[in-house]
Structure 1
Amino acid sequence: MWTGRTQGYFLKHIEKTRSNSDVTRNSRLAAVKAFMRYVELRLPSSLEQVHQICAIPTKRHDQALVQHLTMKQIRAILGAPNLSTRLGIRDRAMLHLCFAAGLRVSELVDLSIESVSLRHPPRIRVCGKGRRERCLPLWKETAADLRAWLSVRGSPRTPELFVNAAGNPMRRAGFEYVLEKHVRAAALKLPELRGLCIATPAEA
C-alpha cells in the first residue's frame, strides 16, 4: 500500500525526472486520490494510509489568461467557409452559432434539431453541465445561417443538428478540425490569427 511519503516521491519523480507540468502533476494526484477513496471502501484497514494520501495538497500554479477574439477576427473566420458548397454552409452555421451563443463544443455538437426554433424570436434550447437547460436568443444573421444549413442538410437518420460529410453526428474532433481549417484560411488574410491555430487530425 502506498503511503503519503511514497506518493510524495512519485510526485517528485514525475516533476523532476519526467518534467511534467504542475497541471499534469495535479491531475495525477487527483486520479490517485479518487482510487484511494475506492480503496477506503473496499479495504477499511487502509484508512490511515488513505487519509495520508488524500491530505497531500495540490500544487498552486499560474493559469494562462484565456484569449478572446475581436469582432474583426470573428468576422474573418466566419468569412472563410465556401458558401457555394453544402459543407461550407454547414461550417458557417456551426461557427456562427458557437460564437453568437457562446456554446461549449459539447453543447454545439449535441444540439438537436428539435432544440432550434427559427420562428420569431429565433432561439435555441441548450442542455449544459449538470443537465441545466437554458434558452438563448439568436442574432438575425445567426438564424439566417441556420436556415441556410437546414435547407441543404437533407434527412440523415440522426436527431443532431450538425452532421459530418457521411451523415453521421458531428463530433468534437470533427468540429475542431473544421475550426482549425477555417482559422488557417482566415489567417492568410489576417495574420494575427496564426497563433490561434490548433492541430486536430479528424474528418468532418
Structure 2
Amino acid sequence: MKKSNSETFGYYLNKYLTVYLPGQRGLSTNSLLSYRDVFSLFIVFLKTEKRITPEKLDMSFLIKNLIVEFAEWLENSRGCSLTSRNQRFVILRSFCRWLATENPEFLKLSEEIYAVKLKKAAKPVMTYLSADAMGCLLKQPDSSTNYGLRDLTLLAFTYDTGARVSEVTDLKFKDIRFEAPPIVKITGKGNKARIVPLLPQTMNYLKEYIKRWKINLLDSQEQYVFTNRSGGKLTRSGVKYILEKYVEAGKTENPVLFPDKISPHTLRHTKAMHMLQAGNNIVYIRDVLGHSDLNTTERYARADTAMKRDALAKAEIPMPEPADLLPDSSIDLSGRSVEDDMANWLKNFSKK
C-alpha cells in the first residue's frame, strides 16, 4: 500500500525546518542554516553511500545504525573533526526526539539515538592576539583607499565590540547610534539583542567610512554596513578572506606576533581577553559578548596563563637559595623548530 505524503521524510523535514525550529524554538536564520547544512550532508550521504533517493521516501529507512554510519562517514570520509561530527550528530538526534513528539512510533528510534554516546573530543586551546599583534593587524589596511578604509573599520568594529562574525555581517546602519553617547545594537544567537558602547576611534573610522563612501544615513537605515564589491552583504567567507589577507601582511612584518591559525572569532576572543587583563569584572565581559551563561565567559579567565602567573607571583613567599648552586643547564632551543529535489530544496531554504 502506498504511503501518504504525511508519512514521508520530506514531509517531516519540511515541518521541522519551516515550522518547529523557527516557530517553536525561535531559532535565528543563521542557526536554521546550520541545521539545513547538516540535512544537506545527510542527503549527500544517502545518495552517494547508500544509493537511497530521499524524495518521497518512507520513514522506515531512518534507523539508529544509519545515523551512526552517517556520523562515521562525516569523520572518516569527509575529514570532519570530532567536534563537527558530534555537532551534526546532535542535530539529527534532536530531529529524532522531535519526531517522537509528532508520532509515537518514533519513540524507540529516539531512545536508541539518545543511547549513543558522543565521541570525546579534545578541547581546543583558545587562540587570541596580544595587544601588540592586534595593533600590528590594524596597521595593515591602507585606509587611504576606500576598500582599505572599509577593511580597517570592519576589523576595528569586530574587535572593539567583541561581535560574532554573523553579527557583524548582519549589522545595518539603523543599528548604530552616531549621536553621543554612541552605541550599537547587536542581534546575536536566538535573536537576542544587546547594546554595546562604541569607543571614539571606532566611531572615527565609521564616520570617515560613511563620508568616504558618500552614504546618506537617512536613506540607508536598512542597508548593511559592510558590503562587498558588488554592493551586496559581506559574507562570512568574505570577512575571513579580509582578515587572513591582513594577518599574512602582519606576519611579513612580524611573524612572531601571530599564532598559526586565526579566524574572525579570534578577534572576539581577543577583545574578551584584553578586557579581562585590564581588570574588568567578568559580568561586564559577559554582557558585552552576549553570553547567556556566565560559565561560558569564565573560560577566558581559565585560559589566561599570564593572569594565573601574576596571581601566583602575588602569593609568592621568600625562599632560601640551595646550598650548592648547580651550573646553568638550561636547554638551548634556538633554531628548533523537499520531495521533488530535496537537495535543491535545502540549498534554497534560506531564500524562502
TM-score w.r.t. the length of structure 2 is: 0.50
In structure 2, how many angstroms separate the alpha carbons of the residues matched to 1:70 and 1:143? 23
The secondary structure found in structure 1 opposite 2:260 is: helix
Of structures 1 and 2, the larger Rg is shown by 2
Change (3 A) 1:191 1:137: same
Flag structure 1 segments of 5+ consecutive residues without an equivalent: 199-204
The secondary structure found in structure 2 opposite 1:134 is: strand
Please point out which of 260, 270, 279 is paired with 1:195: 260
Change (3 A) 1:167 1:15: closer
Please point out which of 48, 55, 63 is paired with 2:108: 48
In structure 2, how many angstroms separate the alpha carbons of the residues matched to 1:181 and 1:58? 36
Task: For residues 152-189 of structure 1, give each alpha carbon's deviation from its aligned partner in whole angstroms, at most 9, with x where no partner exists.
Answer: 22349761111112222212111111111111111111
CA RMSD after TM alignment: 2.7
Indicate whether 1:169 and 2:233 are aligned.
yes
Letter in 2 for 1:10: E
Change (3 A) 1:87 1:181: same
Indicate whether 1:90 and 2:161 are aligned.
no
In structure 2, how many angstroms separate the alpha carbons of the residues matched to 1:16 and 1:128? 29
Range 74-83 or range 161-170, more displaced: 161-170
Change (3 A) 1:87 1:23: same
Change (3 A) 1:9 1:182: closer
Partner of 2:201: 141
8 Å Cα contact 2:226-2:234 kept in structure 1: yes
8 Å Cα contact 2:140-2:250 kept in structure 1: yes
In structure 2, how many angstroms separate the alpha carbons of the residues matched to 1:81 and 1:34? 44
Range 22-31 or range 144-153, more displaced: 22-31
Please point out which of 108, 114, 120 is paired with 2:180: 120
Structure 1 residue ranges (4+ consecutive) displaced by more than 6 angstroms after TM superposition = none
In structure 1, how many angstroms separate the alpha carbons of the residues matched to 2:71 and 2:166? 35
Task: For residues 13-34 of structure 1, give each alpha carbon's deviation from its aligned partner in whole angstroms, at most 9, with x where no partner exists.
Answer: 5499647643244234324313
- What is the 5 A alignment of 1:1-204? 4=64, 6=65, 10=69, 14=73, 18=77, 21-41=81-101, 43-155=103-215, 159-192=223-256, 193=258, 195-196=260-261
Task: For residues 91-147 of structure 1, give each alpha carbon's deviation from its aligned partner in whole angstroms, at most 9, with x where no partner exists.
Answer: 101100111110101111111111112222222111111222211112211111111
Partner of 2:43: none
In structure 2, how many angstroms separate the alpha carbons of the residues matched to 1:160 and 1:13? 40
TM-score w.r.t. the length of structure 1 is: 0.82
The secondary structure found in structure 2 opposite 1:188 is: helix
Flag structure 2 segments of 5+ consecutive residues without an equivalent: 1-59, 264-352
Aligned pairs, how many?
197
Task: For residues 67-107 of structure 1, give each alpha carbon's deviation from its aligned partner in whole angstroms, at most 9, with x where no partner exists.
Answer: 11111111111110011100001110110011111010111
8 Å Cα contact 1:33-1:54 kept in structure 2: yes
